[in-house]
């Protein structure tokens, strides 16, 4: 007898995902990290009735990880143009809302993380090596002011 559960869902594959900016699918990537949030801990010490120390832990500042994306280098200039808005000091134009979207085996959307007021803090071009045969990889880091999983 097996422990098969017909209501149990399959685990998700992590290889089909895309960056979407301002509602437009901008690029596919080979790697994504930084889809996280963290709350700092405030420790509050109090004296108990018998003089013992009681430590209470309270939630402090909320912060989000920086999103790092890597992809094979292409001649597409959209990410470079977005980065140039930061370099040129165009503060109102550089902030964009976007999403990291994950798709299932049938290319249906199954997960989405929305970020707000994101901008590219780092764009790293490929490492080049004339003796290698690796794909040239480009990396971007997006900082933002909020991340929310909605699916």
CB distance 135 to 127 below 8 Å: no
Give the per-residue pLDDT at 10.
64
Give the per-residue pLDDT at 74.
87
Give the per-residue pLDDT at 27.
73
Give buried/exposed letters for 11-38 (b at 16+ CB in 10 A, else e). eeeeeebbbbbeeeebbebeebebbeee
Q: Which helix (H) or strand (E) holds 141?
A: strand 137-143
**pLDDT, tens only, 78-92:** 899 999 999 999 999
Give the per-residue pLDDT at 42.
96
CB distance 35 to 147 below 8 Å: yes
CA distance 124 to 56: 43
Reported pTM: 0.82
Give the per-residue pLDDT at 106.
84
Give the per-residue pLDDT at 12.
60
Give the per-residue pLDDT at 52.
92
Q: Which residues of the chain have pLDDT under 70?
A: 1-15
Domain map (residue ranges) of the chain: 17-149
Give the per-residue pLDDT at 44.
93
Which homologous superfamily is 17-149 in? Hcp1-like (2.30.110.20)
Give the per-residue pLDDT at 111.
92
Give the per-residue pLDDT at 23.
72
Give the per-residue pLDDT at 22.
82
**Sign of torsion over alpha carbons 112, 118, 120, 122:** negative
Per-residue DSSP letter, 69: E
């Amino acid at each position: 007898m097996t422990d098969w559960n017909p209501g149990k869902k399959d685990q998700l594959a992590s290889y089909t995902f895309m960056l979407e900016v301002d509602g437009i699918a901008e690029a596919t990537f080979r790697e994504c990290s930084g889809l996280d949030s963290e709350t700092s801990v405030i420790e509050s010490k109090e004296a108990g009735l018998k003089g013992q120390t009681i430590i209470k832990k309270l939630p402090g500042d909320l912060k989000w990880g920086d999103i790092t994306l890597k992809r094979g280098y292409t001649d597409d200039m959209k990410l470079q143009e977005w980065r140039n808005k930061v370099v040129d000091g165009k503060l109102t134009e550089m902030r964009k809302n976007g999403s990291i979207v994950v798709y299932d085996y049938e290319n249906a959307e199954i997960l989405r993380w929305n970020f707000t007021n994101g901008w590219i803090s780092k764009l790293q071009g490929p490492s080049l090596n004339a003796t290698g045969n690796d794909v040239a990889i480009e990396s971007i880091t997006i900082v933002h002011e909020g991340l929310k999983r909605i699916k």
